[in-house]
Amino acid sequence: MDRDLALPRYGLVYRLFGAVVAVWLTVVLVLGILGPVSNLPILEHTARNLYFHVPMWFVLYAGAIAGAWHAGRYLATGRTLHDVRSEAAWVVSTVAGVTALVTGVVWARFTWYQGTGLWWSPEPRQNMVAVQLLISGAYFVLRGSLDRPRQRARLSAVYALFATATMPFLTYVLPRRMASLHPGAEGNPAFSEMDIAADMRWIFYAAAVGFLLLAWWLYTQRVRGKVAELRAEALDAPTIAPPVVVS
């Protein structure tokens, strides 16, 4: 079990990395909330949400890709560590997806649908993302419904590959084929001057990098915690003595 769950050593560099990420995101949050922002048409000061909403999509995709990679590695090798890493990546990805959806709903409520009283809109990308998050959530339901570790890891890996395969179609391809107010949809290019001013771009890129680094740190923390839990379970497991042969 120990060899199957072997992790690299996390020393001073890792602790410094966590501190750097904390400082980086603190600066991003301060600039994003208190810094100057251009009064773009329709968006006005709600454009600040760009620093928090869009980076969550990057984390969503990065986590899903990492989860699918380790799911494939588990099916190829059978190593428990790959199952642990896949599950941790899906946790981070799904949390980011929920955060992206919530911030998107609030943003749409006070820009596109201001005055209508709508909290849930007919926006195609919003609805497709909700479907994708239901698919992602079913991954955890599947894991929780299976008791045998090997069976759970194997079926979860197969499902993770399926869920990752649906993601680009539901969150990118299909919404782009529908009429939508969302940037990146048909006839509405993303990252144009209408939705991000030139003086906002450097804060946005810093936020994207910062949240991706935070996601990696949270992912490694989740992996370390799960590995420690599995090792503790292995130590507490009762050992079965070999039968005594009476001659």
SS (H, E, C) 100-150: HHHHHHHHHHCCCCCCCCCCCCCCHHHHHHHHHHHHHHHHHHHHHCCCCHH
pLDDT in tens, 38-84: 766 656 677 788 889 999 999 999 999 999 999 999 999 999 999 99
The dihedral through the CA atoms of 11, 15, 21, 23 has a sign that is negative
Among 73, 100, 97, 96, smallest CA distance to 86 is for: 73
CB-based contacts of 161, cutoff 8 Å, min separation 6: 68, 71, 72
How far is Cα 120 from Cα 132, in angstroms, rounded to an integer? Answer: 16
Question: Looking at residue 173, what is its pLDDT?
Answer: 85
Please compute, for residue 67, the number of CA atoms within 13 A of its CA located in the half-sphere on the CB side.
32
Tokens, residue 94: 């799904």
Per-residue DSSP letter, 244: P
With beta carbons less than 8 A apart as the criterion, state whether 90 and 133 touch: no
**For residue 118, is it left (φ>0), alpha (ψ between -120 and 50) or beta?**
beta
- pTM for the model stands at 0.85
Which regions in the chain score pLDDT beneath 50? 241, 247
Tokens, residue 146: 């299976």
Among 196, 176, 197, smallest CA distance to 187 is for: 176
Question: Looking at residue 126, what is its pLDDT?
Answer: 86
Q: Which helix (H) or strand (E) holds 200?
A: none
Which residue is listed with tokens 């680009």?
168
With beta carbons less than 8 A apart as the criterion, state whether 161 and 71 touch: yes
